[in-house]
Structure 1
Amino acid sequence: MAITLVLGGARSGKSAYAQRQAEQVAAGTGRPPLMIATAEAFDEEMRDRIDRHRTDRGDDWRTLEAPLELAAALRDLSAEDVVVVDCLTLWLSNQMLADRDLSAAVDDLALALSACPATVWVVSNEVGWSLVPDNALGRRFRDEAGRLNQRIASIADSACLIVAGMKLDLRSASC
């Protein structure tokens, strides 16, 4: 079991990095890697993004959609699974839109990840380095995303930041 948190801004290369790492590890297992996708296609632009991600991954990947029940999906994994969760900030926005108890959801996710026997790369956006949002919902999301990233970083075996497609180790085990 190993958990790696992969942080970065929009279009930084974090998903591609996590996917490459998972493909390398999965190649040694004889099992295809698993993408646990958290996105929901609420509009045409998001449908296009999801389709592009699927195309980029190719047919060698299994996909499980878990826009809300990410913790449950993680609990079903085995030690042989090699997984990319993409991404925590979409999962967080789904939780917020569904008016879920964020504290309970984050606690449940952290417990599920801590107990997960699989090798997992968890992708998340670093949204706190930009302008302060001009509305309460945006500010709440930014704050909750920061807290979520801190919580997952505290249980991850390694963490890295991807900037312009380049990796900076934040805490290294195998990042």
Structure 2
Amino acid sequence: MATILITGGVRSGKSLLAETRAAALPGRPVYIATAEPGDAEMAERIAAHRARRGAEWRTVEVPLDLAGALDATDGHGPRLVDCLTLWLSNLMGAGRNWRAEAEALAATLARQQSPVILVTNEVGMGIVPANALARAFRDAAGGLNQRIAAMADEVILTVAGQPLKVKG
């Protein structure tokens, strides 16, 4: 089993790299989507990702129970989780304890038999946000990314479509 974390900025090429890596692994890839189509623009993004992947992918939509989705799909080919940052946003919006959920996710990842590739965003590389909620989200994303990166077998930073191996 391998756990791979792919991080980077918005539109850095993370998802395409993750899809390419997952598709190259044995078995039918499973796309675990954390995004919810809350508006027309997000619905268009989701549709574009789905079209790019094609019919050979199985899609599981899971805004909150990521650990459960990983357990349910284990043993059925590589899984691609896209993305941790949206999952975190969903957790925080639902008033869930993101720290407890991150620990549960790390424990779940440690027991997986099939590979898992996780996509996340680096959100703390810019200016300090002006409001408390945005700062709390930035801090939570940094904490979540650090927790998953610590236990991942491989960590890749994607910049301008170019992968840079950070760990592994």
| TM tier, smaller | over 0.9
CA distance in 2, matches of 1:89, 1:154: 17
DSSP-derived class of the 2:55 partner: coil
Query: Deviations 1:30-78 (Å, cap 9, x if unpaired)?
Result: x321100000111111111111110111111110011100011111233
- Percent of aligned pairs with the same amino acid: 50
- Aligned match of 2:37: 41
Residue of structure 2 aligned with 1:88, choices 84, 87, 104: 84
DSSP-derived class of the 1:116 partner: coil
- Aligned match of 1:18: 18
- Aligned match of 1:112: 108
Per the normalisation by structure 1, the TM-score is 0.93
Contact 2:79 2:117 (8 Å CA) reproduced? yes
DSSP-derived class of the 1:151 partner: helix
Residue of structure 2 aligned with 1:128, choices 119, 124, 130: 124
- 5+ residue gaps, structure 1, are none
State the aligned residue count: 168
CA distance in 2, matches of 1:89, 1:163: 17
User: What is the CA-CA distance between 1:170 and the residue it aligns to?
Assistant: 0.4
User: What is the CA-CA distance between 1:117 and the residue it aligns to?
Assistant: 1.2
CA distance in 2, matches of 1:53, 1:131: 29
User: What is the CA-CA distance between 1:154 and the residue it aligns to?
Assistant: 0.8
Contact 2:99 2:144 (8 Å CA) reproduced? no
- Aligned match of 1:166: 162
